[in-house]
């Protein structure tokens, strides 16, 4: 998303915001949605999200049900 494309919108309810967001996402291509998701993950987790391989860890617990 380009900075010049950013706009501020005010909504009168959460429902109105949800409907608008649903319409915005449905108009995006799969590639655009994945790019947006990757950008949010990188903001949260830093460069390790996109630059480092994910370690797969498995744990289990034996229960006597």
Report the domain count for the chain: 1
Q: Which pLDDT belongs to residue 48?
A: 72
Contact 35, 41 (CB under 8 A): no
Q: Residue 27 — φ and ψ, nearest 5°?
A: -85, -10
Q: Look at residue 3 and tell me if it is in a domain.
A: no
- Exposed (0-12), middle (13-18) or buried (19+): which is 64, by Cβ within 10 Å? exposed
Per residue in 10-28, pLDDT tens?
Answer: 999 999 999 999 999 999 9
Q: What is the domain range of residue 44?
A: 9-65
b/e sequence 15-24, b meaning 16+ C-beta within 10 Å:
eeeeeeeeee
Q: Which pLDDT belongs to residue 3?
A: 58
Q: Which pLDDT belongs to residue 16?
A: 96
Q: Tell me if the pTM is above 0.85.
A: no
- Where are the alpha helices (H) located in the chain, listed in sequence order? 14-26, 30-45, 48-51
């Amino acid at each position: 998303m380009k900075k010049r494309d950013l706009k501020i919108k005010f909504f009168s309810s959460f429902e109105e915001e949800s409907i608008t967001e649903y319409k915005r996402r449905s108009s995006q291509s799969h590639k655009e949605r994945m790019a947006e998701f990757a950008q949010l993950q990188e903001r949260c987790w830093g460069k390790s999200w996109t630059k480092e391989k994910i370690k797969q860890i498995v744990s289990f617990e034996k229960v006597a049900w």
